[in-house]
Amino acid sequence: MRAIRKLWSVISTVLVVVIVLLAIALVGVRVVGLTPFAVLSGSMEPTYHVGALIYVKDVEPQDVEIGMPITFVVNEDLLVATHRVVDIEMFTTKQEKVVDENGKPVLDERGKEQFVEVPLDEPSYYYQTKGDANNDVDGTPVYYKNLIGTPVFSLPYLGYLSSWLQTRQGMIMGISIALVLVLLTFMPDILAMLDDEPADSKKSDKDKKKGKGEGDSEEAPAAEATSEAEAPAEDKPTEN
């Protein structure tokens, strides 16, 4: 039983370490400002392999440089992609329609609406991107407000696990594994209790038998003393 308890202790310790490391890799890194994303396509091969998990840190729009890989939101469906920047356009002004005091557009001599350049509150950036494995650049530049950050490093295969855990089946399996881990963690203590209980029972029985034996040895001299005290009384002569 002691050998089994030791084996369970080793297994539970290894599992705890593995689960803790996975939890840090999948979730805990957010504490230090990194956001993990799974690589689902091969557009950035061989830099980022399919199934890898990339870790993205925040980056300011003005700090993005040509040649830097960036992670960004592609569309309104919140699809996320990571491609490399091949060109950057910065705008400090924008065109606004000229209107009259009634809010109607002012037309020029050709009957077209007039526009005027006005300064922006902050520079506006557009990033032209391209996948390392793609032949052509992306069709639509990335607006700077869709920028998430830039990848710092990646871990192979963890992207498969991350994507699977986000499915219904993966969530159920993940919870089940966590419950089994809790059981394995406390299993050595349970086995220790079961192992110690028979020993305590045997010790209690032994103490009872010992106590009974000591009680008998203490009563014997009392009986002998009584016999010795009564014996002379029988031989004592009576007075007439």
pLDDT tens digits, residue range 5-62?
677 777 777 877 888 888 888 888 999 999 999 999 999 999 999 999 999 999 999 9
Q: Percent of the chain having pLDDT more than 70?
A: 75
Count CB atoms within 10 A of the CB of residue 206. 10
For the segment 71-87, the average pLDDT, to the nearest whole number, is 93
For the segment 75-87, the average pLDDT, to the nearest whole number, is 92
| Confidence tier at 118 by pLDDT (50, 70, 90) | confident
Q: Percent of the chain having pLDDT more than 90?
A: 39
Q: With contact defined as beta carbons under 8 Å apart, do 125 and 64 qualify? A: yes
Q: Which residues contact 28 (CB under 8 A, 6 or more apart)?
A: none
Query: What is the pLDDT at residue 210?
Result: 55
Helix (H) or strand (E) holding 200: helix 168-235
Give the fold, CATH level 3, of 36-153. Answer: Umud Fragment, subunit A (2.10.109)
Report the distance separating Cα 105 and Cα 184, nearest Å: 74
Q: Where are the domains of the chain?
A: 1-32+167-203, 36-153
Which of 22 and 199 is assigned the larger pLDDT? 22
Burial of 128 (0-12, 13-18, 19+ CB in 10 A): middle
pTM: 0.67
| Confidence tier at 203 by pLDDT (50, 70, 90) | low
Q: Which of 15-29, 81-95, 167-181 has the highest mean pLDDT?
A: 81-95
Query: What is the pLDDT at residue 75?
Result: 85
Query: What is the pLDDT at residue 73?
Result: 96
Query: What is the pLDDT at residue 154?
Result: 95
